[in-house]
Amino acid sequence: MASRRDFVAGGIALAASAVMPFEAAPALSAGSSRSLAKVHDLELVVVVDRALAAAAPFASEAAARGHHVLSFEDDAGALWMNELEPRLRAGPLAIAGLTGAAAAFCFETLTRSYRGHALARAEHASLTVASLAPLLAAATQAEAALPPFAHVARAPHTAPAFLTWLIETRN
Amino acid sequence: MPKPPPGIAEGDFQAALRELEAVVGRDWLFKSEEDVALYKDGYSPLWGEPEERVASAAVAPNSVEQIQAIVKIANQRGLPLYPISTGRNLTYGGSAPTYSGSVVVDLKRMNRILEVSERDKTCLVEPGVSYFDMYRHLRTNKIKLWIDTADPGWGGLMGNALDRGGGYTGGDFRDHFDAHCGMEVVLPTGELVRTGMGANPHAKTWQLFKYGMGPWVDGIFSQSNFGIVTKMGFWLMEEPEAALEVTVSVPKRRDVVPLVDALHSLICAHTIPSQTTVASPIMNGSADPDLVKLRSSGGTASDADWDRYTAAQNRPFWSATFVYYGPPKVIAAQWEHTKDKLAGIPGVQFRETASYTFPLSDEQVEAVPDKARLGIPSLNLFGSRNAPGASPSEGHIDFSPMIAPRGEELIALSDVTGKVYTDMGLTPSFVGGLMFHPRTMICFHAVPTFRNAQDNQRTRRLFETLVRTCSDHGWPIYRIHAAFQPLGMQMFGFNDGALHRLHETLKDAIDPNGILSLGRYDIWPKRLRASRA
């Protein structure tokens, strides 16, 4: 497990390997009032679970791009309570994350109170690196929100080691 | 676009939505398919099936007056409403309405902490105040009071109390409905009432004395559909000087009888103040073939069979975990007295697992492994399943039978429910007994839910069989997922369902047009009753 010091130092060398494709957002249904993604117009906050080895390079990339990076380890509760929710109360945000499946589910559920919609989501196998750039590209090209994350009842052998995701809040 | 409520034409529904929008403003009426999808029950045992409960729209008022205006529109147009506070109690139905087509009244914007009195140890909150909100408020303002949080801590004080949820700290606080004091309610007619001392406009004791004058009506607003609660008072626990978390372990299966008897006695005498969990390190063990064989015996494995297996594992059969709160000298005396009471069980072991002196620093708070026992809301329940390489968490609904606090009952329930699982070709689930309330144990089973109909049909069969079987044995549940509330109420059918008839008599009087939370706990308005029979 990576320590906080490891996380700050960043740059853990990992072997790159295949990433499961980003989930495709469904086409707009007739009469939908949704406009195209506003990700570029919103402040982007990046959230990582520093217990995951892939978190450090992802966070480094985000910081290099000038985004604010927040981290937690396993339990996202304190980060939500002390950092993220106060920011959301000040106005809409885009939130990108590199977390485990359960934390991704938690963030999607919590951000519902701020009209949060997942615009991009990708699953990654163990010992891979994940980049922010394709996540942002997928989110900005999204034409609609993704359906709620269906991590429930996944057999252990099909579980991803971690996910990258992007949620846009609108209230 | 989402479908309008049954019986309401599309044009009339759109007109109603325009009226709702005029009340709350454009940003707070949600009618697009993707916005309405945010109110789905993520753990629904009916996921994707025609019977899955879905909303038609949602509206988020910001004041009592806006709620009254929404209720007025609903009465005029026959629009079914379904109020939620945070809507995150996923194992009991989440934010999805009990009646498809309802407009969710999302009270998330009403998240004001109206008052906290450190001197009186009370608070008054709106429906959208979460455990996170209240904890943050107390800590930021250095108020030496604790909340009693549910676990996970993403729910809210009011919603959890109204659903009669429980927590983990002192005995006066962890029955969340019992810890409330005073309500303000918008009735389905739009009339605003305050209960208890709050009915006196000048009373300084609304959050101090529950009853006021005349019949005490607060109970009818819990697990019901008789009003939209807009304010609720709570008693808060004074931060103790210290806390000591301990574990008591006993080696043999039948040792649970004297263990629970002693714990019950100590709880009722206020020696043990906290929620007490009685679990089995053996039965919660891994998928060892010998263990699977014992657990799948359908109750035919003897105590001797279990004890032989346990002895080989070098682990105790039962362990009980609880916390003392107070001055260190008092804690030490309580712990010594507890050990004296339990010393007669051969092989009993006592362990101090954590001790704390308050207040805690931020770093100390983060390091607390079992936060709920110190009134700290967390998502650790998810985090513990989230470690790299761990199995993913599953959706589930809670099956929560309530038993008398007796070890024999815990063993019997384990055997009986084990047989239900085994008869259906499933591996039995066992958790143990949690003493949220001082005189009962709740024995949660997490019954998994899925995103496919075939597996969910099996889950529903399992859940219904568990409910009926446990009820037949005298272990009815205390709370139930929205999809199973008609079944749950059937289990409380004394005198041909007299209690249910009383609920519906109240419904007719309080909600004559039948607009609020239709079907919640199987309480239906007159016009829909025949079709639900």
Q: Mean pLDDT of all residues in chain B?
A: 94
Q: Is A100 close to B34, i.e. CB distance below 8 A?
A: no
Residue range B217-261, pLDDT digits in tens: 999 999 999 999 999 999 999 999 999 999 999 999 999 999 999
Report the C-alpha gap between A27 and A2 in whole angstroms: 40
User: Is there a catalytic annotation at residue B521?
Assistant: no
Residue range B112-136, pLDDT digits in tens: 999 999 999 999 999 999 999 999 9
Report the C-alpha gap between A72 and B379 in whole angstroms: 11
Residues B70 and B23: beta-carbon distance below 8 Å:
yes
Under the banding of pLDDT at 50, 70 and 90, the label for residue B12 is: very high
Chain A CB contacts of B35 below 8 Å: 115
Q: Which residue of A has its CA nearest to B395?
A: A152
Q: Which residue of B has its CA nearest to A26?
A: B34
Residue range B124-177, pLDDT digits in tens: 999 999 999 999 999 999 999 999 999 999 999 999 999 999 999 999 999 999
Nearest to B40 by CA among B107, B92, B95, B81: B95
Q: What is the DSSP string of A119-136?
A: EEEEEE-TT----HHHHH
User: What is the number of structural domains in chain A?
Assistant: 1
Q: Which residue of B has its CA nearest to A111?
A: B38
Residues B280 and B388: beta-carbon distance below 8 Å:
no
Report the C-alpha gap between B428 and B193 in whole angstroms: 47
Q: What is the pLDDT of residue A160?
A: 65
Whether A166 has its CB under 8 Å from any CB of chain B: the answer is no
Look up the domain containing A13 and give its range: 4-168
Of A1, A51, A150, Cβ closest to residue B451: A150
**Secondary structure E strands in chain A:** 44-49, 68-72, 94-99, 117-124, 162-168
Least confident piece of the model among B64-78, B184-198, B274-288: B274-288
* Contacts with B, A 15-54, CB within 8 Å: 29, 31-34, 49, 51-53
Cβ neighbour number for residue A64 with a 10 Å cutoff: 10
Residue range B463-488, pLDDT digits in tens: 999 999 999 999 999 999 999 999 99
Contacts of B18 (CB under 8 A, 6+ apart): none
User: Is there a catalytic annotation at residue B478?
Assistant: yes
Low-confidence stretches of chain A (pLDDT < 70) are 1-40, 150-160
Under the banding of pLDDT at 50, 70 and 90, the label for residue B191 is: very high
User: Is there a catalytic annotation at residue B168?
Assistant: no
**Looking at B53, B88, B253, B479, which residue is catalytic?**
B479
B434 vs A15 pLDDT, higher one: B434
ipTM of the complex model: 0.93
Which residue of B18, B27, B29, B34 to mutate against A (max A Cβ within 10 Å)?
B34
Nearest to B148 by CA among B369, B377, B434: B377
Q: What angle do CA B128, B192, B519 make, to 5 degrees?
A: 65
Nearest to B234 by CA among B208, B258, B266: B208
B352, pLDDT greater than 80: yes
Chain B CB contacts of A105 below 8 Å: 42, 382, 393
Report the C-alpha gap between B74 and B61 in whole angstroms: 14
Report the C-alpha gap between B76 and B135 in whole angstroms: 40
Q: What is the pLDDT of residue A74?
A: 79
Report the C-alpha gap between A96 and A82 in whole angstroms: 18
Nearest to B17 by CA among B40, B38, B35: B35
Q: Is B387 close to A109, i.e. CB distance below 8 A?
A: no
If DSSP codes are grouped into helix, strand and coil, which group holds residue A72? strand
Phi, psi angles (nearest 5°) of residue B160: -65, -40
**Looking at B43, B92, B135, B421, which residue is catalytic?**
B92
Q: What is the pLDDT of residue B292?
A: 82
Q: Is A32 close to B32, i.e. CB distance below 8 A?
A: yes
Q: Is B383 close to A78, i.e. CB distance below 8 A?
A: no
Q: How many residues does chain B have?
A: 533
For the entire predicted model, the pTM comes to 0.93
Q: What is the mean predicted confidence (pLDDT) over B45-62?
A: 96
Q: What is the pLDDT of residue B533?
A: 64
For residue B480 the two structure tokens come to 């139930």
Of B42, B386, B448, Cβ closest to residue A74: B386
Least confident piece of the model among B207-211, B358-362, B444-448: B444-448
Report the C-alpha gap between B164 and B398 in whole angstroms: 14
Q: What is the pLDDT of residue A155?
A: 47
Residues A169 and B108: beta-carbon distance below 8 Å:
no
Q: What is the pLDDT of residue B136?
A: 97
The one-character DSSP state at B523 is -
Chain B CB contacts of A162 below 8 Å: 388
* HEC string for B450-476: CCCHHHHHHHHHHHHHHHHHHHHCCCC
Residues A64 and A107: beta-carbon distance below 8 Å:
no
If DSSP codes are grouped into helix, strand and coil, which group holds residue B380? helix
The one-character DSSP state at A17 is -
